[in-house]
């Protein structure tokens, strides 16, 4: 299996540090608002990557951090009057609900920044002791000049390091030095005690403190969206390799492309976003998942309702074919059906080639096109083998191939409508209640009062 790593800018053979174990870390959300479908794109991609690694027999331990202390959370808390911790918990809960709806359930551990203050403080202290960091009157900073390899992930240089997400800093030795700890004495904001006074951590340190604690100094795979390569992931490498003296901190750096709208990244700040919740009011989660996986995880996706509808139709084609197989998979069968062998191999070769899901999905359509006219001629074994392959593909992609019951939920809806109608009748609003009855009858429902 080959995986593209941003660090080497090439596809590399996948070799883990410990046998069949994979330690996977992906930067999680900053929980100050609902997640949008751009976030959904990134997390669906990593969920599918984890599913495939597991399918290949790896035991994957997948951690996501949750940034629950940050300027954005504090600002939103001040605007809304909701305490920062309450706000963060609320949106963390909603984020996890959204992920569950998208069938993104692979994270083994959500690690909150605020639950790892001792580890964060300890790592900062070791950076100071080793001469990589220094304290000033407003914080603790990493001194970039002490780490020669800065820029190796992003191919960018120190001068380009902006102070992302940081308040104006005047006491740094060099403008490029980034914050490890921000002193906040006597302010009306969440703070934690530390050897450098009350304050809170900088943005980058929570991730390396968390991964060092759970995985150790070096691990297998680190993921995130393209926007995080610089400065965030660059800073992570800098901190961790400085403190451990070991390189590489991470073997494979995986970055997802953006979900764009009209060529622009979907983001909160550009106000061009659709939340996952909004999307799922009108579309099945599987449709969005299938839509995301129809593009390679490193490529940009242009979001439009038209392309989402196209995905809906494509998924429907797979489901209708799957339904036609009309067999049950009870045990492994032997089949030498060549069409299946060809497209089955193509599916797995594509997944082995840097998780190429669009090619893998194309292989499913290859199988459908080449076999649909001869299904009635195939033996029971061949059909079971096809179905078993599709079950594996469905599990890897995290998308159901069962025809969906379009009436699911309609009983609840009918119950609700008839309750409303009874209330209208009780209030003698017969115009409205009769209108509902007439419309329901026109739709074929029998109404007896």
Q: Which residues bind ligand AMP (CB under 6 A)?
A: 27, 29-30, 38-39, 41-42, 224-225, 227-228, 256, 258-259, 265-267
Which CB sits closer to ligand AMP, 110 or 147?
Answer: 110
CA gap 282, 133 in Å, rounded: 51
CB neighbours of residue 427 within 10 Å: 10
| Nearest residue relative to ligand AMP (C-beta) | 225
For residue 65, which of 198, 197, 232, 218 has the smallest C-alpha distance?
Answer: 232
CA gap 397, 318 in Å, rounded: 13
CA gap 418, 422 in Å, rounded: 6
- As measured in angstroms, the least distance from the Cβ of 28 to ligand AMP is 7
- As measured in angstroms, the least distance from the Cβ of 228 to ligand AMP is 5
- As measured in angstroms, the least distance from the Cβ of 71 to ligand AMP is 12
Strands 109-112, 301-302: pairing is: unpaired
Which CB sits closer to ligand AMP, 265 or 383?
Answer: 265
- As measured in angstroms, the least distance from the Cβ of 93 to ligand AMP is 16
Which CB sits closer to ligand AMP, 41 or 437?
Answer: 41
CB distance 232 to 164 below 8 Å: yes
Q: What's the DSSP call for residue 112?
A: E
CA gap 392, 55 in Å, rounded: 9
CA gap 76, 294 in Å, rounded: 35
- As measured in angstroms, the least distance from the Cβ of 72 to ligand AMP is 9
- As measured in angstroms, the least distance from the Cβ of 117 to ligand AMP is 20
- As measured in angstroms, the least distance from the Cβ of 358 to ligand AMP is 16
CB distance 432 to 448 below 8 Å: no
CA gap 79, 77 in Å, rounded: 5
CA gap 377, 371 in Å, rounded: 10
CA gap 184, 199 in Å, rounded: 4
CB distance 294 to 314 below 8 Å: yes
- As measured in angstroms, the least distance from the Cβ of 265 to ligand AMP is 5
Which CB sits closer to ligand AMP, 38 or 248?
Answer: 38
CB neighbours of residue 448 within 10 Å: 4
- As measured in angstroms, the least distance from the Cβ of 38 to ligand AMP is 2
Which CB sits closer to ligand AMP, 163 or 244?
Answer: 163
For residue 42, which of 287, 226, 245, 235 has the smallest C-alpha distance?
Answer: 226
Which CB sits closer to ligand AMP, 301 or 360?
Answer: 301
CA gap 80, 401 in Å, rounded: 43
- As measured in angstroms, the least distance from the Cβ of 42 to ligand AMP is 4
Which CB sits closer to ligand AMP, 70 or 177?
Answer: 70
Which CB sits closer to ligand AMP, 38 or 106?
Answer: 38
Structure tokens at 425: 């009748």
Which CB sits closer to ligand AMP, 37 or 161?
Answer: 37
H or E stretch covering 126: helix 117-129
Which CB sits closer to ligand AMP, 36 or 437?
Answer: 36
Which CB sits closer to ligand AMP, 15 or 97?
Answer: 97
- Cα distances from 173 to residues 127, 143, 149, 232, in angstroms, run 16, 8, 19, 20
Structure tokens at 405: 């019951």
CA gap 429, 66 in Å, rounded: 51
- As measured in angstroms, the least distance from the Cβ of 266 to ligand AMP is 4
């Amino acid at each position: 299996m080959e995986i593209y790593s941003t660090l080497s800018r090439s596809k590399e053979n996948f070799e883990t540090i410990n046998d069949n174990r994979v330690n996977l870390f992906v930067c999680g959300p900053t929980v100050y608002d609902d997640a949008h479908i751009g976030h959904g794109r990134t997390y669906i991609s990593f969920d599918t990557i984890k599913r495939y690694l597991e399918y290949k027999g790896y035991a994957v331990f997948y951690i996501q951090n949750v940034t629950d202390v940050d300027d954005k959370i504090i600002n939103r808390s001040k605007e809304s009057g909701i305490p920062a911790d309450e706000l963060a918990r609320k949106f963390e809960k909603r984020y996890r609900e959204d992920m569950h709806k998208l069938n993104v359930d692979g994270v083994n551990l959500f690690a909150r920044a605020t639950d790892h203050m001792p580890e964060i403080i300890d790592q900062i202290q070791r950076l100071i002791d080793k001469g990589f960091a220094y304290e000033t009157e407003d914080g603790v900073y990493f001194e970039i000049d002490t780490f020669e390899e800065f820029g190796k992930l992003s191919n960018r240089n120190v001068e380009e390091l902006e102070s992302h997400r940081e308040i104006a800093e005047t006491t740094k030795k060099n403008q490029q030095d980034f914050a490890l700890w921000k002193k906040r004495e006597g302010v009306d904001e969440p703070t934690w005690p530390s050897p450098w006074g009350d304050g809170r951590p900088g943005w980058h340190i929570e991730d390396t403190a968390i991964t060092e604690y759970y995985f150790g100094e070096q691990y297998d795979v680190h993921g995130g969206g393209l926007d995080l390569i610089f400065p965030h992931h660059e800073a992570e490498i800098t901190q961790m390799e400085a403190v451990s003296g070991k390189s590489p901190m991470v073997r494979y750096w995986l970055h997802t492309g953006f979900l764009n709208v009209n060529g622009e990244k979907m983001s909160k700040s550009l106000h061009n976003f659709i939340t996952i919740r909004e999307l799922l009011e009108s579309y099945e989660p599987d449709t969005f998942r299938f839509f995301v996986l129809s593009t390679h995880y490193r490529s940009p996706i242009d979001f439009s309702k038209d392309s989402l509808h196209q995905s809906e139709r494509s998924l429907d084609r797979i489901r209708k074919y799957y339904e036609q197989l009309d067999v049950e998979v009870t045990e492994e069968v032997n089949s030498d059906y060549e069409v299946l062998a060809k497209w089955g191999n193509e599916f797995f070769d594509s997944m082995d080639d840097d998780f190429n899901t669009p090619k893998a999905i194309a292989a499913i359509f290859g199988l459908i096109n080449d076999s649909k006219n001869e299904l009635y001629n195939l033996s029971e074994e061949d059909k079971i083998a096809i179905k078993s392959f599709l079950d594996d593909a469905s599990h890897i992609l995290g998308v159901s191939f069962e025809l969906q019951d379009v009436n699911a939920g309609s009983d609840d809806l009918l119950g609700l409508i008839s309750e409303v109608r009874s209330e209208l009748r009780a209030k003698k609003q017969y115009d409205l209640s009769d209108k509902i009855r007439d419309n329901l009858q026109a739709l074929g429902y029998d109404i007896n009062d």
